[in-house]
Each structure stands twice: as C-alpha cells, then as structure tokens.
Structure 1
C-alpha cells in the first residue's frame, strides 16, 4: 500500500502567471498544507549565467535541481517542510489578493464539507494524516527539470497560462525579490530579453506548433500528466482559476484514496 506522508502538487507557468498567489490561496483553504517554492533553490548570484548581458535568474541553470529533488524526497518520506530549506520567496510581497472574500469563503465551505466524516476528504487528510505540499515554480515541467526527475516526484501537475503582455505588466509592478545576497530588482528590458524568451524556449513542447501564446497540445499534456484550463484561453481570471484548482485538487486527492482502496482489495484477494 502507498505509505506516502505527503501529496505534492506542482503549480507551474510563466513568471507572473499567478503561481504563488494560487499556492497561498490553496494553502489557506486546505488543511495540513504548506508551500515550497522553486525560487528557494536559486544558486548564489556568483554562479548564475548571463543572457543578453543581463544576469539570468530565469533559467534552469540558476536552480540547484539536486537540492530541490532532495527536498521533495524529504517531503514524501516525512510529510514535513525540509529543515534544510531557508525560504526567501515567502518574504516577497505579491500585492492585493485578486480573489474575492466571497469566493474564498465559498471554497472553504466546500472543502470543509468534503472533510466531514463519511466524505472522501476525511479519509484522505484526517484519518491518514496525509499532508499537502504545494510546489510553485516557473520551470517544473521543463526538459531540464524532467532530466533532474523532478516531475516524477509530483503527484499532481497544474499549469497556468498567461500572455506575454499580462506577464510583463504584472512583473513590472513588483518591487523586486529577496535573494541570498540581498535584493534583486529587474533591470530595464529584463522581461523582454530574458524572462519571456526563456519561458518560451522551455515550454514550446507543451503547445501546438511551439507557440506559447497559442493552444496547448492535449496529447502532450496527457502524456506528461499535466492539468490545465485548456479551453479557457490566456489570462483567465484568478477567481476562475482558484475555483478550478480547488476542484482539481479534491479530485486528484480522491484518486489517492481510490488507489489505496484498490490495493487493499488486491491484498485481500491474494490472501484468499
């Protein structure tokens, strides 16, 4: 039987697609939940490469993939936040919440009902003490992280879409980012020269004809087990995305319960 201590959910997409906002919203709705950030695994600034004459924080080479893998393995084995990870991302602000209080309250009521005795959520999260880890990151399904076997450690894989224009607008509103060395603010032209080209190159394989502002390739998504709002288009309202993600997470967690029950029946049949 699956003896996992945590259910790990990947939330990926371009920079400023809403990954961290969604992760924090889901953490507030589901019990026994914590957030891990890909950004917590940045290498020291002195080890980062350059692109177009600018320091490149938005490529796989900037991430310590072995350390990320080690952290995910710890979470699966122990169900706790890795004690060797010092989160810098949680020190960054993400602005006002784009989801209404009414939508958040409705989600909490929905999840609370799902967690009551006799309901699927009770057996999954209460009876088994399973914890949920939400891993947000801009490269989780990229070829480089696939080579590092990161996707194999994810139990559910959500992918958020955003247009170049919206991503640029959102990123430019940010003050900057806390780093190991102090603080980083995007230099002029950083999104156009580094962020978006890196995103497009790393995710072209998920889209028809490689157009990251076009249609997702359904066959590729199914092959990789990636879940996305395929028919919703770009720049979906975060409230819509939040409701979708709540439903997806409950459904995927129920799959864990179904798997356990199926394995239990199989063991009983072998005993007979």
Structure 2
C-alpha cells in the first residue's frame, strides 16, 4: 500500500524508558488535528506471561514481554481503516506522566499553526505510537510500518533518576513497582542491548550511526532539544509537518 493510499499516518515515538516519549506523544495529540495515541505498553502480555530473568525478576523491558503479533495487527488495521481496532482498550493512560513543563503559550501557537496548515491532510488521522522498543533490530517488520520515526535519547543518570521517582505502573492484571536495582540490571541493560546497532561502537550514550539512521528513516532528537520538552515538541512537530506536506504534494 503506497503512502497516499494509507488511510492514516503512523508516527512512532521511541527511546529508552523515561526519555519523554509518552509526554511528547500526548502533547502532539493535543496539537495536531485529528490525532490519536496508541501505546506499545498496551500490548504487554498478561502479568503471568512476563518473562523472568536469571535473578528471578520479571523483565518488562524485553521483546518477549510484548504481544508483537497483536501490535502488528493493530498497526495494519489502522493503516487500512484509519481508526483504532474496535476491541483495543488502553490501560497506559491510567499511568501518570507528571507535568510536561512545556510553555502552554507555545503549545497553543503550534496548535493554531497546525490547524491553519492542515489543508488537504486535515481528514487524514494521525496515530502517534509511543514505545520503548519500536525501532529495535528485531522489530524491523513493525518499524517499517511507521511513516515518521522519532527517537528520543536520555543518558543513564537521567533515566535512573526519572524512573526511580515513579510510583509504579498499571499492568493488564494489576500493578508493577520496580524492585531495587531494576533500572541498571533490566531497563538500561535491555535498552543498550536492543539499540546498540544504532550507535558507534555500540555505545548508546555515544555517537549515532547517522547514515544508518537516515537509511532506516529514524529522526533522532538533536542534543540541543533533549533537555527541553518545549524544544522537543517544536522539533517533532516540524518533522511531522514535513511528512504531511510531502504526502499532500503526491
């Protein structure tokens, strides 16, 4: 199916846990006309099916914790029908993400700009999917479904600070709280393993392989915007707007 035939635009927002994915996704949903959110976390397996690692701890940050078949089917359904699958109910919106810290005036300006510039694309729904594993090597079949791929980075210190400040997460069947040491042994370890291929020498805090990212269509938030969600929203909005303009010109 060609880009012009798709009945929806899929925007993937990925990156390490606590990098601002869900915050950015919700802001973009509020700014863009006819925009909706889908969370990768809504495709976790049941609590009992989550793998247990060598330390006897459930691993919620590995590929095997997700129902990838259901995720791929949902994305295919959206591209074909321009709407969410009727049986999909989100639990992720029950999880708090805290204040975004974004200038409300800037959000209002972008929203006004988006509606003025929507033109021929105003009737095309935009689905923003946020998730920690959308662009990994093993997720190529799902990664290729996205029209826009936005990758957020955060260093280990920031991730550890933000993640450990959270109270926990609503799961399919209950509630999860990270045990001590979980960020280092599970969250960061999995992120590094699954995304090393995108970085020089496999160092996920180092330099990206820019040619590879370009070939895969992955746009990474510049260093200058990673410490400011307002700047991050500006960057993401520009990337999505560029895609919509190219789509309308076809």
What corresponds to 2:235 in structure 1?
A: 244
Name which of 170, 182, 185 aligns with 1:178. Answer: 170
Question: In the alignment, is residue 124 of structure 1 matched against residue 116 of structure 2?
Answer: no
Q: Distance in 2 between matches of 1:132 and 1:234?
A: 23
Aligned residues of 1:163 and 1:235 also touching (Cα < 8 A): no
Question: In the alignment, is residue 255 of structure 1 matched against residue 217 of structure 2?
Answer: no
Name which of 82, 93, 97 aligns with 2:96. Answer: 93
Q: CA RMSD in A?
A: 1.3
Aligned residues of 2:33 and 2:115 also touching (Cα < 8 A): no
What corresponds to 1:270 in structure 2?
A: none
Aligned residues of 2:225 and 2:231 also touching (Cα < 8 A): no
Q: What do the CA deviations read for 1:214-271 (whole angstroms, capped 9, x no partner)?
A: 11110110111101134x268431111111011111001112112x2xxxxxxxxxxx
Residue correspondence of structure 1 range 153-172 to structure 2 within 5 A: 153-172=145-164
Secondary structure at 1:254's aligned position in 2? helix
Secondary structure at 1:54's aligned position in 2? coil
Residue correspondence of structure 1 range 188-203 to structure 2 within 5 A: 188-203=180-195
Secondary structure at 1:197's aligned position in 2? helix
- TM-score, L = length of structure 1: 0.88
- TM-score, L = length of structure 2: 0.95
Residue correspondence of structure 1 range 103-118 to structure 2 within 5 A: 103-114=106-117
Name which of 208, 214, 219 aligns with 2:211. Answer: 219
Q: Distance in 2 between matches of 1:211 and 1:11?
A: 21
What corresponds to 1:134 in structure 2?
A: 128
Aligned residues of 1:177 and 1:185 also touching (Cα < 8 A): yes
Deviation of the 1:156 alpha carbon: 0.7
Aligned residues of 1:168 and 1:191 also touching (Cα < 8 A): yes
What corresponds to 1:70 in structure 2?
A: 73
Aligned residues of 1:33 and 1:133 also touching (Cα < 8 A): yes
Q: Which runs of 5+ in 1 are unaligned?
A: 115-120, 261-272
What corresponds to 1:207 in structure 2?
A: 199
Question: In the alignment, is residue 54 of structure 1 matched against residue 45 of structure 2?
Answer: no
Q: Distance in 1 between matches of 2:103 and 2:184?
A: 31
Q: Distance in 1 between matches of 2:7 and 2:229?
A: 30
Secondary structure at 2:144's aligned position in 1? helix
Q: Which runs of 5+ in 2 are unaligned?
A: none
- Does the C-alpha gap of structure 1 residues 12 and 197 become closer, same or farther in structure 2, counting only changes over 3 Å? same
